[in-house]
Amino acid sequence: MELIIHNCTIYDGTGTPPFVGSVGFENGKMRVFRSAETPQAKQIIEADGLALVPGFIDAHSHGDLNMLSAYATASKLSQGITTQIAGQCGVSLFPAGGVGGTQFSRFVSGIAPYPDLPDDLTKLLSASSFSRWLEEIQNPIHTRCFVGHGTLRLWAMGYENRKPDAGELENMKQILRRCIREGALGLSTGQVYAPSCYAQNDEILALLRVLHEEGGIYANHPRNEGNTVIEARVESMRLAQEADVPLCVSHLKAAGRQNWGKPHEMLAGLDRAVEKGLRAMIDCYPYTAGCTSLNVSIPPRYFAKGMRGIIEALENPQERESIREEMSRISDYDNYVFNSGGFSGVYVSSCPIDHRAEGMMISEYAEQTGMDPFDAFCDILIRNNGLGLGIYFHMSESDVVEILTQPLCVLGTDGLIGRPGENPHPRAFGSTARAYDLLVRQKKLLSPEAMIHKMSGQAASFLGLSQKGRIADGMDADALLIDLEQFRDTATYQSGAARTQGILKTFIGGREIALEQEI
């Protein structure tokens, strides 16, 4: 054996009670010893009863957009994440093509303010070329991706707000099929983001039938998470059932005080669908605020010309007043600002160009600058070419707890991150420990082994990651040595990059990762 971790309390990721033993690493794989004897090894780490758990799986990550950033990598490793499931919400780094590099960069910037793209975009033409690029950059985190429907549509027809013609749809189907055969997990939709929001259900269904043929999975960020969230989730379940594909229910929530309590009905509906044969997994993060682009509350029709169209509309007095009126009421699109109670519920997390509003609610920035809150919002977007991240306070803790404790639910960070020095949503650095502290320690709703199962083996089983998520003979040697008594998050909304406590050692493929080198 190359390494033995001796006398550890092993939480094997299956949800069964822990046991004391030793775990050896050799050639990147594990071997479990249940006896009290110390096997021979080149290196022995005496655990003294500390917990050894599988490396955590981020079931909903946008980390594929920042694979070159040591800061972004640290946000995962510092909370024990060794595997991430990316390409979520309709945005993936492949297939890139059909549009210029500037337009593609602007597209992914809607999710990641500073996306990491190779100089040569041909490295992102397909799932296999993306995998080769990952091997080149040698990021330690194991990354699996969905094909983003927005990326796929951008590749086939740009930002066109129309149905694809027969040739465009066939092209999307063929590149989706190719990507799945090359290792992509399936298709993700982000139906509040352009251009994915322009797709009608017959287009989505045609692509889901490809998933059925190729054994892929459907991950869905629905059309609405506010006033019509129940209807939107029913729609995604119906499409998955009609195509007969497994469904990942992305970041389940109900946004807006008027919608609190609706997750109870959604979960009941999902249980009924599972009883009828739907394979489903939910992901959720343990916070009452979400995070996405600052421009997301602008009516979708303005995105047809990309960011340029948004800026032109905001600078046009007539269009600007039309946007003001639509954003001030319940709309037929997912209006994040309205669901956060207005601009006093929207915190400016990061901006790519002009940083003056960072760290303030938009209402605070408006007061500081002497502007009307809507005009302050427009000012922030114009100064940042339509980009930037906002934190939206729009959820109920009781809803979040009910979702997280549902048996189908696993943990996803949904983390979005800027540059060092900018303040991210605390979920980017603290989700795993926050979930453990909330559900095991504070609420006492889950046992330690049940929570660890949600963060490892459960997601691995659903997603077909046969070598991840468990401590067992022959599994990939991805593991964490943790003091569970000290396992706590310290990240807050004011200090979103504060590090998790209690993780003593992190191993990926049997190699110890020195976190201080990654941060």
202 and 303 fall within a common domain: no
**pLDDT value of position 341:** 94
Domain end residue (candidates: 198, 215, 232): 215
Burial class of 480 by CB neighbour count within 10 A (0 to 12, 13 to 18, 19+): buried
Whether 42 and 96 share a structural domain = no
Domain CATH code at residue 24: 2.30.40.10
- Looking at the structure, do residues 43 and 133 belong to the same domain, yes or no? no
Q: Quote the number of domains for the chain.
A: 3
Tokens of 423: 């303040």
| pLDDT tens profile 1-24 | 899 999 999 999 999 999 999 999
Judgement on whether residues 25 and 94 belong to the same structural domain of the protein: no
Rounded to an integer, what distance in angstroms lies between the CA atom of residue 107 and that of residue 372?
29
Q: Among 361, 393, 425, give the residue marking a domain's end.
A: 393
Can you give the pLDDT at residue 519?
Answer: 44
Q: What is the CATH number of the domain that holds 186?
A: 3.20.20.140
Global confidence as pTM = 0.93
Are 7 and 98 within one domain?
A: no
Q: How many CB atoms lie within 10 A of CB 156?
A: 23
Same domain, 104 and 201: yes
Name the nearest CA neighbour of 394 among 297, 259, 292, 263: 259
Q: How many Å apart are CA 263 and CA 176, to the nearest integer?
A: 32
Residue 33 located in a structural domain? yes
- 323 is a domain residue: yes
pLDDT the model gives residue 101: 66
Asked if the structure places residue 187 within a domain, the reply is: yes
Q: Quote the CA–CA distance of 354 and 369 in Å, as a whole number.
A: 14
Sheet holding 142-145, edge to edge: 56-58, 81-86, 142-145
pLDDT recorded at residue 518: 43
Distances (CA, A) of 210 to 158, 164, 201, 240, 329: 21, 16, 14, 12, 39
* Residues 379 and 480 reside in one and the same domain: no
Which mean pLDDT values do the consecutive 10-residue runs of the chain (519 residues) have? 95 97 96 83 94 98 96 97 98 83 84 89 94 96 98 94 97 98 98 94 98 98 94 97 98 95 97 97 97 92 86 95 93 90 94 93 97 97 93 96 98 93 94 98 98 98 98 98 98 94 97 70
**270, 336, 259, 261: which is closest to 300 by C-alpha?**
336
Length of the chain: 519
Q: What is the side-by-side strand order in the sheet with 147-148?
A: 147-148, 186-190, 217-221, 247-249, 280-284, 409-411
Q: Residues 41, 2: contact at Cβ < 8 Å?
A: yes
Residue 307 lies in a domain: yes
Residue 133 counted as domain residue: yes
Classify residue 50: in a domain, yes or no: yes
Parent domain of 508:
3-56+471-518
| Shared domain check, 126 and 32 | no
Q: Which of 365, 393, 421 is at the close of a domain?
A: 393
In a domain, 376, yes or no: yes
Phi-psi map region of 321: left, alpha, beta (phi>0 left; psi -120 to 50 alpha): alpha
Confirm whether 461 is domain-assigned.
no
Residues 6+ apart with CB under 8 A from 96: 104, 117, 121, 124, 125, 151, 155
* pLDDT recorded at residue 422: 87
For residues 311 and 206, membership in a common domain is answered with no
Q: Taking the mean position of all CA atoms in its chain, how far away is CA 337? A: 21
| Strand locations in 163-314 (E) | 186-190, 217-221, 247-249, 280-284, 289-293
